[in-house]
Amino acid sequence: MTLDAKIPGGPVAEKWDRHRFELKLVNPANKRKFTVIVVGSGLAGGSAAASLAELGYDVKCFCIQDSPRRAHSIAAQGGINAAKNYPNDGDSIWRLFYDTVKGGDFRAREANVYRLAQVSNNIIDQCVAQGIPFARDYGGLLANRSFGGAQVSRTFYARGQTGQQLLLGCYSALSRQIGLGKVAMFTRREMLELVVVNDRARGIITRNLINGDIESHAADAVVLATGGYGNVFFLSTNAMGSNVTAAYRAHKKGAFFGNPCFTQIHPTCIPVHGTYQSKLTLMSESLRNDGRVWVPKNPGDKRPPHQIPESERNYYLEEKYPSFGNLVPRDVASRNAKEQCDHGKGVGDTGLAVYLDFADAIKRDGHDVIAKKYGNLFQMYAKITADNPYETPMMIYPAVHYTMGGLWVDYNLMSTVDGLFVLGEANFSDHGANRLGASALMQGLADGYFVLPYTIGGYLAGITPAQVGTGHQAFKDATQATKERIHKLLTINGNRTVDDIHRELGLIMWDYCGMGRKDDGLKLARTKIQALREEFWENVNVPGSDKDLNQSLERAGRVADFLEFGELMVVDALHRRESCGGHFNEAFQTEENEALRDDANFCYVAAWQYQDTDKDPVLHKEPLNFENVELTQRSYK
């Protein structure tokens, strides 16, 4: 099978317009004959479900939470980018496109990124029209702030709760369609299988998380918007329920997985503090607008921060990267924090933290201005750590946050399974090897509001509606497989809990496939994961029944998939003989310890095809052609 990204011809700035014209349309009266399943109700899924229903399609939307408003998009803090150039500081669609391609370390598809930058402006218009209370200046115009990897202010925000406000906007649009009867909403449902008939996605199998019913749902197209896989590391900034299951089930049914080793370690999180810890908490990157990152100059200096004089502090980001300073991209900031701690300059009890200091900003702007910008973040920090960041610097350390890898999709956001579309963090497409801050919200909403509603029409216009019903043998087979798997999980009756095994997997991934990777470590990780997977299927203990709300069973199914998926990440990391963005193999670095790419041999998307759990996956390559942005060594100096 050859990968065809279906990138339209012509200059990059004209591709999307041209493609929209060339896409086939579905007659308004025929739209209601098509059923579309949307799995996930975050920014990508919620916006897609609402927009498709507005167009007239019959939509079924599924989420694992008790309400679509709880999807993990809600936790995004800092903001959303758009190329509005309202501050008059030189921004443009082209600059947002350029910054994103460069920020992604030249491993994203140019045509997709350009389209993302183009529709970014529509997103802000749409969100304001929905009544989202973005921050404003006193004249009543929208306010902007800066984020990493850019030298312009293009980030729109609603205090430190931008994700929440954008999600509630999209949830309100979705709720309106539910109220109108155009979307059937299924909450507390988990997709456990994709149903494929004659190489086309035709539906899904779900488990009703309240009563355990296994349900079949047929459709003319399936849209996955199920988020990222950061929880493979156990400790991450993801919500507890975030998982790879829907995407991985689709992968097993033929959807290729793109660049699984591209994971983002976010630089500003609250450090790990105990073995019982269940998750890590992110502190928005926006804090780096005013906070200064430093460590003591002398390794092992354990004095409290206020006793360390200015001359004995090392503001390492400002020194090393004078033009971007504290606002370097996330991968660069994270690696530098790790480097300082590796040199023994880490602070706090564990030595795995650096300071993020607001003293200068408070002296310059006053307590109230800083409180207005970051009040809720400071409060959150104080609640968790019992330290007051107005008086003492925050302690931060990198943590797993976002996954750039995901199911491979073409320009239409369709996977290698016809009729299966993948949106938002669940796909691989727009961020390359590193995502810039405030770009995840932009991509989720771009995919759901402004890309999929067009491209799915192009697919549906070519098929006859309602050809396969839930009575088809494929649904019966998938149902049977799902039930057998659940039965197996409940009857192992071993000695280890699901969380215990998940925690062990997370440590393997963090130690060997985290911020710094080495060949021998990756090889060791692979055998460790295989052994742990074997142990899981012999020795896990899942209490309770399948006919009931059973949270242990839910977690067990997800961890079982992580135990297979983790190995795929390691395989991908091993094969990529270069460093780029979030993938940093210590054997490939510049003299200044920056990621060293190998454009001659690895300028491609690695799309993996599933064979069997015991067989190696097959690698397919989508070459990346850079016609508009010159491939260079990234520099933020």
Span 539-558, contacts to other proteins by CB under 8 A: 541, 543-544, 548-549, 551-552
- DSSP labels, 375-386: HHHHHHHHHHH-
Helix (DSSP H) and strand (DSSP E) numbers for the chain: 18, 19
Q: How far is the CB of 165 from other proteins (least distance, A)?
A: 6
User: Nearest to residue 158, comparing CAs of 291, 284, 289, 326?
Assistant: 284
Q: How far is the CB of 497 from other proteins (least distance, A)?
A: 5
Enter the DSSP assignment of 78: S
Number of residues that bind other proteins (CB under 8 A): 81
Q: Binding to other proteins (CB under 8 A): which residues in 434-453?
A: 449-450, 453
CA-based angle 547:553:558, to the nearest 5?
A: 135
The residue range among 277-285, 416-424, 469-477, 512-520 that interacts with other proteins, by the rule CB under 8 A, is 277-285
User: 120 vs 479, which CB is nearer to other proteins?
Assistant: 120
The residue range among 138-146, 318-326, 572-580, 609-617 that interacts with other proteins, by the rule CB under 8 A, is 138-146
Could you tell me the two tokens for 315? 């503001």
Q: How far is the CB of 450 from other proteins (least distance, A)?
A: 7
Q: How far is the CB of 190 from other proteins (least distance, A)?
A: 14
3-state secondary structure string across 134-196: CCECCCCCECCECCCCCCCCCEECCCCCHHHHHHHHHHHHHHHHHHCCCEEEECCEEEEEEEE
| Alpha-carbon separation of residue 127 from 268, 557, 588, 609 (angstroms) | 27, 36, 43, 38
Distance CA 236, CA 238 (A): 5
The residue range among 102-110, 127-135, 214-222, 558-566 that interacts with other proteins, by the rule CB under 8 A, is 127-135
Q: How far is the CB of 18 from other proteins (least distance, A)?
A: 19
Q: Is 496 a catalytic residue?
A: no
9 near other proteins, judged by CB under 8 A: no
User: 585, 518 in Cβ contact below 8 A?
Assistant: yes
Q: Helix crossing, 93-103 with 110-129: angle to 10°? A: 120
Binding mask 191-210 for other proteins (x = CB under 8 A): -------------------x
281 near other proteins, judged by CB under 8 A: yes
Among 23, 142, 184, 468, indicate the residue that binds other proteins (CB under 8 A): 142
User: 276, 235 in Cβ contact below 8 A?
Assistant: no
The residue range among 273-281, 329-337, 397-405, 615-623 that interacts with other proteins, by the rule CB under 8 A, is 273-281
User: 370, 362 in Cβ contact below 8 A?
Assistant: yes
Enter the DSSP assignment of 233: G
Query: Which residue is catalytic, options 107, 115, 249, 330?
Result: 330
623 near other proteins, judged by CB under 8 A: no
Q: Binding to other proteins (CB under 8 A): which residues in 483-522?
A: 497, 499-500
127 near other proteins, judged by CB under 8 A: yes
Among 33, 279, 472, 483, indicate the residue that binds other proteins (CB under 8 A): 279
Among 19, 31, 60, 69, indicate the residue that binds other proteins (CB under 8 A): 69
Could you tell me the two tokens for 326? 């504290």
**Tokens 């992604």 sit at which residue?**
104
Burial of 304 (0-12, 13-18, 19+ CB in 10 A): exposed
Q: How far is the CB of 133 from other proteins (least distance, A)?
A: 4
Binding mask 162-181 for other proteins (x = CB under 8 A): -xxx--x--xxx-xx-xx--
Q: How far is the CB of 274 from other proteins (least distance, A)?
A: 6
Distance CA 329, CA 321 (A): 11
Could you tell me the two tokens for 7? 């990138």
Binding mask 72-111 for other proteins (x = CB under 8 A): x-xx--------x-x-------------------------
Distance CA 615, CA 514 (A): 24
As a whole number of Å, the end-to-end CA separation of the chain is: 43
The residue range among 161-169, 330-338, 611-619, 622-630 that interacts with other proteins, by the rule CB under 8 A, is 161-169
250 near other proteins, judged by CB under 8 A: no
Q: Binding to other proteins (CB under 8 A): which residues in 24-63?
A: 47, 50-51, 54
**Catalytic sites, residue numbers:** 330
